Amino acid sequence: MANDAEAENGRQAWQDAYDRTPLRDVDFETMSGIPVDPIYGDGPYPGQYPFTRGIRPSMYRSRLWTMRMFAGFGTAEDTNGRFKEILRNGGTGLSTAFDMPTLMGRDSDHEWALGEVGRAGVAIDTLVDMRDLFADIDLGSVSTSMTINGPAHIIMAMYIALAEENSVDRASLSGTIQNDILKEYQAQKEYIFPPRPSMRLITDLIQFTAAEMPRWHPVSVSGYHIREAGSNAAQELAFTLANGFAYVEAAMAAGMDVDDFAPRLSFFFNSHSDFFEEIGKFRAARRIWATWMKERYGAKDERSMLCRFHTQTAGVSLTAQQPEINVARVALQALAGVLGGSQSLHTDSFDEAMALPTEDAARIALRTQQIIAHETGVANVADPLGGSAYVEWMTDEIERRAEEIFSHLDELGGGSILEGVYAGIDNGYFVGAIADSGYRFERAVNAGRRIVVGVNEFTDGDHPGDRNLLRINPQVEANQLKRLNAVKQSRDDSIVRSSLDQLVIDAADPTINTIPATIKAVQALATEGEIVAALETVFGTYVETAVM
Amino acid sequence: MKRDSQTPVELFDAAITGQRHAIGRLLSLVEQGGEAADAVSALTHEKSGDAMVIGITGPPGSGKSSLLSQLLKVIVAAGFRPAVIAVDPSSPLTGGAILGDRVRIDATDTATFIRSIATRGHSGGLALAVPGAVRVLDAVGFNPVIIETVGVGQVEVDVTASADTTIVVANPGTGDAVQANKAGLLEVADIFVVNKSDLPGSNDARRDLELMLDLSHMTGQEDSTGRRPPIIMANSLEGSGAAELWSAIVEHGEHLVATNQIDTRRAKRQLAELRSRVSDALLDALDNELASEQGADVVAALSDRRITPSEASSQIIDRVIRID
Amino acid sequence: MTDTPIRIVLAKIGFDGHDRGLRMVARILRDAGCEVIYLGLRQTTENVVAVVEQEDADAVGLSMHNAQHLTLAPKMVESLRSAGLDVPVILGGVVPDQDIAALMESGVAVILGPGTSAEDVVRSVREAVTSRS
């Protein structure tokens, strides 16, 4: 029987790969001492195309997921203190949150920045802030994650310039920059330029890192914000992967070989409350990405086909009523993320529905992951739910729904997903579909067809008023404005001017990569806002048509 | 309570001096219809008639609003004070509406005025409200007055088509030109715009339009002059095409004057409004009559087959007209 | 006079891009028969005032998810007042309990926190519009 022989071969190939993989030094047995196998059920096994069951043969037996927590508040110096504390405690990854003006490409002295500076993340106006953010930290040995999109190329340029000042080879820099502009137009709305010039900047960075920074992830394609904005699970998956395809098409159109950059793309998903739907979504994500990369985009390198992703629990599911019970929600969502095979995980703090998390709440969130990793035993077996009739059906169903959306976008774009995504942004398809799904859910809650514990049922026990919420020191804003002013006084304005002029010239020519001129501009201490303003003269500014 | 503390006359006096909230209030009165609307009409009728009235229509998502905001900038730069009436459909079920496509221009710029009007479920109201609103904006000094619709529904088409100059916007690759033909918009267009001209297929859209114009020879409104509507290629993201569009509008305005069509069109517009007004009043009277005791008797007689449908209608018409 | 629909301007002021709640409220109010003038993101208080005048709106709804509510909501109230507009300001989004008193004191008419039901949204808007002085 050929099928039996094939199955046997697949099993053997998996076993060989597993045997070659170093494992963590723990006992892979139950609490009662029963030894368990690394996998159960049928192939294709974890680490085998199309990777439905996981991207690695041994999964968490070799390495647990990365427990990544966000840090960033106040001035660069404040956050630097936090970073050093993380490194002292054995952390190797730094995850940076930026404040709203920085995310929007505007300086701390912008008229709209009032009340926002240093509040939801760190304020970065110039290279000087970047120096302070990473003071006394060896950029060659840490992995840095930076959650920023519209002005990602500028922040990246600052990081590269800083490495150069510190005599760190840029080829040794390792980390991720989110740099996913498409979902900004669809969901998160932190855009600056119109879609096409924004894609140019992203392609520039993909090309630059592929050539000079092999350890850097230039785009983290993010569905998280699409889900938070109200989409359902299939839409989150489909829109995110479609955006991924769009980046692939854009980079290929710029002349790159798919296997030169696709292994460096990564993903970021939401883990919401419907347990099996989420697990099905994660499994479908891997299968779809692998299939499309191989079949449609002609990837040869298996690493181009791997959908590696970071997961965060659903902030939008957290309730302001009885906030303590959010701990239970987060635990279940995190468990779904782990059973779905996430490479990295962020757990929300229970108080996030009301304000930025307090330190205690953030600690509980991290401890939740540690309980899942070390107490529940779920890390012992790869894809433990694979083979369940329900989970397999759910995986197929989510995939089918996603494929319907790809077909729509493909048609909209006349055979190009990239053009289809542009068209969907333009005609309000994404925004409308997301808002409709969100509204459908709210109506179900309102009608009592869907129970949200503590909100429309089981409402006893809420104690408003006695909550301990984080407040940011208002002094932060004044300090940052002082810092920005000092930089502006100290620099040579004529060099700033000429570096910005050169950037404008480069930006106007689509055949020139804008990253080198951006690095020059940040070295001249041009502010983020000045660089954005210069580029706006070429690219224009995006204004959303408020299509409902 | 406080809202009605100012009479239409006081509001109009304030509106003439440029107080925008007074203009906004007058427009609300016009929209509400009834006696207050009549009072506003009486105030504005004589003082209006100077403004150029431009209709612009195109499907939702055609980038019409972006194009319009570019056009407004050109119009303001040319020294005019434009006003826009943006018509959006109300939900037929709830009467509610999301007027989400408000033109994105700086609303604090006093040289322009933008007002959104929902169809409020009954088209008859719109057919009266829009001409009334045009008169208010005209009378307080705005020129041109632009009516923007999404080009679905007959009344919206009629309202747009009753402008001095009617512009139809189409997008490449979406079959807009074909749709426009079906909706009867091709017949009434004085100027076509192919928007988003950077998109693939924009030349096809242009060719589609040319072809349809070839087949129908010319638009219905220009039968006598043989004028062929120009097709403007625009890209509202880059702002290109807005200046050309304005030139085409001005050129069409001159053409209307030169061929005396301006008076014909305006007379037609007055006639259309008169017809809606009279038919609205007659319909109201009819409804009242049918709801009355005598009316009910007639209806009962009809359903008992004691009288024929034509006898029933004659009796009702007699009564309605006698009510005056 | 017959039941003229309530006209409400919905907007977000400043950088904050979280528009899920605002879009939700737009749909809720539309389905309750209101005419919603949806301005969306990155508005200024001056622009909102100008739109209220031109649209003759009955209410303004703002949604805020950053801590700017303490500065921007009172600024909105003040801008409307100084333009002579008797129009209630309804605030939604994430507003910590301890800020509510100060906001009401500054003239905000209603605060709708996370998890407010559709009925409460509609009722609050109706009450705010009918009870203005």
* Structural domain contains residue B214: yes
* Per-residue model confidence (pLDDT) at position A521: 98
CATH code for position B204: 3.40.50.300
Mutant choice from C35, C39, C43, C51 vs B, greatest count of B C-beta within 10 A = C35
Q: Is the pLDDT of residue A290 over 50?
A: yes
Handedness of CA A425, B87, B160, B158 (dihedral sign): positive
> CB-based contacts of B224: which residues, under 8 Å, 6+ apart?
B259, B261
* Per-residue model confidence (pLDDT) at position C104: 94
Residues B319 and B241 in one domain: no
Handedness of CA A107, A108, A114, A116 (dihedral sign): positive
Inter-chain touch C39–B113, beta carbons under 8 Å: no
Q: How many CA atoms lie within 13 A of A75 on its CB side?
A: 18
Inter-chain touch B98–C38, beta carbons under 8 Å: yes
Residues B171 and B224 in one domain: yes
Mean pLDDT lowest among A71-80, A144-153, B273-282, B299-308: A71-80
Percent of chain A's residues with pLDDT above 90: 81
| B19 → chain C, closest CA residue | C53
* Per-residue model confidence (pLDDT) at position A82: 83
C19-44 pLDDT per residue, tens = 889 999 999 999 999 999 999 898 99
| Residue of A143, A97, A147, A95 lying closest to A120 (CA atoms) | A97
Percent of chain A's residues with pLDDT above 70: 96
Q: pLDDT class for B257, splitting at 50, 70, 90?
A: very high
Q: pLDDT class for A352, splitting at 50, 70, 90?
A: confident
User: Which residues of chain C does B116 touch, with a Cβ-Cβ cutoff of 8 Å?
Assistant: 35, 37, 55
Gyration radius of chain C's alpha carbons: 13
Mean pLDDT lowest among A20-34, A79-93, A385-399, A434-448: A79-93
Domain boundaries, chain A: 59-446
- The residue whose two tokens read 């995190």 is A334
Gyration radius of chain A's alpha carbons: 23
Inter-chain touch A319–C115, beta carbons under 8 Å: yes
| A545 → chain B, closest CA residue | B101
Where does a domain end: B259, B287, B314?
B259
Residues B211 and B295 in one domain: no
The amino acid at residue A320 is A
Residues B155 and B184 in one domain: yes
Inter-chain touch C36–B97, beta carbons under 8 Å: yes
Q: And the tokens for A381?
A: 């077996």
Q: pLDDT class for B2, splitting at 50, 70, 90?
A: very low
DSSP state of B2: G
Q: pLDDT class for B203, splitting at 50, 70, 90?
A: confident
Average pLDDT over chain B, rounded to an integer? 84
B285 — alpha (psi -120 to 50), left (phi > 0) or beta? Answer: alpha
Q: Is the pLDDT of residue A92 over 90?
A: no
**Which helix (H) or strand (E) element contains residue B303?**
helix B293-303
Inter-chain touch C47–B106, beta carbons under 8 Å: yes
* Per-residue model confidence (pLDDT) at position C124: 95
Where do the domains of chain C lie, and which CATH numbers do they carry?
7-130 (3.40.50.280)
Q: Is the pLDDT of residue B105 over 90?
A: no
A35 beta partners: A29
Query: What average pLDDT does the segment C48-61 reach?
Result: 96
* Structural domain contains residue B132: yes
Inter-chain touch B2–C32, beta carbons under 8 Å: no
* Structural domain contains residue B114: yes
* Per-residue model confidence (pLDDT) at position B204: 80
Q: Which chain B residues touch A if contact means CB-CB below 8 Å?
A: 60-61, 63, 65-66, 98, 100-102, 104, 173, 196, 200-201, 237-238
DSSP state of B164: S
A380-395 pLDDT per residue, tens = 999 999 999 999 999 9
User: Which residues of chain C does A353 touch, with a Cβ-Cβ cutoff of 8 Å?
Assistant: 94, 114
Provide the CA A85 distance to its chain's centre, in angstroms: 23
Q: pLDDT class for B176, splitting at 50, 70, 90?
A: low
Owning domain of residue B308: 275-323
* Per-residue model confidence (pLDDT) at position C1: 37
Mutant choice from C10, C23, C76 vs A, greatest count of A C-beta within 10 A = C23
Q: pLDDT class for A548, splitting at 50, 70, 90?
A: low
Gyration radius of chain B's alpha carbons: 22
Q: Is the pLDDT of residue A25 over 80?
A: yes
- Who among A426, A427, A546 is closest to B101 (CB)? A546
- Most trustworthy range by pLDDT among B13-22, B106-115, B168-177, B187-196: B13-22
DSSP state of A544: -
Q: Tell me which chains share at least 3 CB pairs under 8 Å with chain A.
A: B, C
- Judged by a CB distance cut-off of 8 A, whether residue C90 touches chain B is no
A 13-52 → C contacts, CB under 8 A: none
Structure-model confidence comparison of residues A233 and B173, the more confident one: A233
* Per-residue model confidence (pLDDT) at position A407: 97
Inter-chain touch C27–B98, beta carbons under 8 Å: yes
The amino acid at residue A307 is C
Query: What average pLDDT does the segment A148-174 reach?
Result: 97
Q: Is the pLDDT of residue A250 over 60?
A: yes
Residues B62 and B146 in one domain: yes
Mutant choice from A427, A545, A547 vs B, greatest count of B C-beta within 10 A = A545
Inter-chain touch C54–B113, beta carbons under 8 Å: yes
* Per-residue model confidence (pLDDT) at position C76: 96
* Per-residue model confidence (pLDDT) at position B221: 57
Average pLDDT over chain A, rounded to an integer? 93
* Per-residue model confidence (pLDDT) at position B60: 72
Mutant choice from B84, B104, B105, B108 vs C, greatest count of C C-beta within 10 A = B108
| A320 → chain C, closest CA residue | C114
Residues B253 and B286 in one domain: no
Residues B91 and B153 in one domain: yes
* Per-residue model confidence (pLDDT) at position B180: 66
* Structural domain contains residue B32: no
Distance CA A267, CA A222 (A): 6
* Per-residue model confidence (pLDDT) at position A71: 64
Residues B123 and B244 in one domain: yes
Inter-chain touch B101–A426, beta carbons under 8 Å: no
B38-90 pLDDT per residue, tens = 999 999 998 888 899 999 988 776 778 888 988 999 999 999 999 999 988 77
Distance from CA of A77 to the nearest CA of C (A): 22
* Per-residue model confidence (pLDDT) at position B202: 78
Q: Please state the φ and ψ torsions of residue C8, each to the nearest 5 degrees.
A: -130, 135
Q: Order of strands across the sheet with A93-97?
A: A93-97, A143-147, A174-177, A216-217
* Structural domain contains residue B293: yes
User: Which residues of chain A does B98 touch, with a Cβ-Cβ cutoff of 8 Å?
Assistant: 548
Distance from CA of C1 to the nearest CA of A (A): 31
| Residue of A452, A473, A187, A230 lying closest to A320 (CA atoms) | A452
- Judged by a CB distance cut-off of 8 A, whether residue A543 touches chain B is yes
- The residue whose two tokens read 């703090």 is A349
A127-141 pLDDT per residue, tens = 999 999 999 999 999
* Per-residue model confidence (pLDDT) at position A72: 65
A478-512 pLDDT per residue, tens = 999 999 999 999 999 999 999 999 999 999 999 99
Q: What dihedral do alpha carbons A14, A16, A17, A18 form, nearest 10°?
A: 80
- Most trustworthy range by pLDDT among A257-266, B309-318, C67-76: A257-266
> CB-based contacts of A145: which residues, under 8 Å, 6+ apart?
A68, A93, A94, A95, A96, A175, A176, A177
Distance CA B67, CA B169 (A): 9
Q: Is the pLDDT of residue C2 over 50?
A: no
Q: Order of strands across the sheet with C59-64?
A: B97-99, C35-43, C7-13, C59-64, C89-93, C110-112
* Per-residue model confidence (pLDDT) at position A420: 95
Q: How many CB atoms lie within 10 A of CB C126?
A: 16
> What fold does the segment set A59-446 form as a domain?
TIM Barrel (3.20.20)
User: Which residues of chain C does A228 touch, with a Cβ-Cβ cutoff of 8 Å?
Assistant: 20
User: Which residues of chain C does B96 touch, with a Cβ-Cβ cutoff of 8 Å?
Assistant: 5, 29-36
3-state helix vs strand vs coil in chain B, percent to 5: 55, 15, 30
Number of domains in chain B: 2
> CB-based contacts of A377: which residues, under 8 Å, 6+ apart?
A30, A31, A36
Inter-chain touch C1–B34, beta carbons under 8 Å: yes
| A193 → chain B, closest CA residue | B237
Q: Is the pLDDT of residue B298 over 70?
A: yes
Q: Is the pLDDT of residue A35 over 60?
A: yes
Q: Please state the φ and ψ torsions of residue A151, each to the nearest 5 degrees.
A: -100, 30
Q: Is the pLDDT of residue A345 over 60?
A: yes
Residues B121 and B162 in one domain: yes
Residues B168 and B305 in one domain: no
Handedness of CA B254, B256, B260, B264 (dihedral sign): negative
* Per-residue model confidence (pLDDT) at position B170: 84
* Per-residue model confidence (pLDDT) at position B1: 34
User: Which residues of chain A does B201 touch, with a Cβ-Cβ cutoff of 8 Å?
Assistant: 414
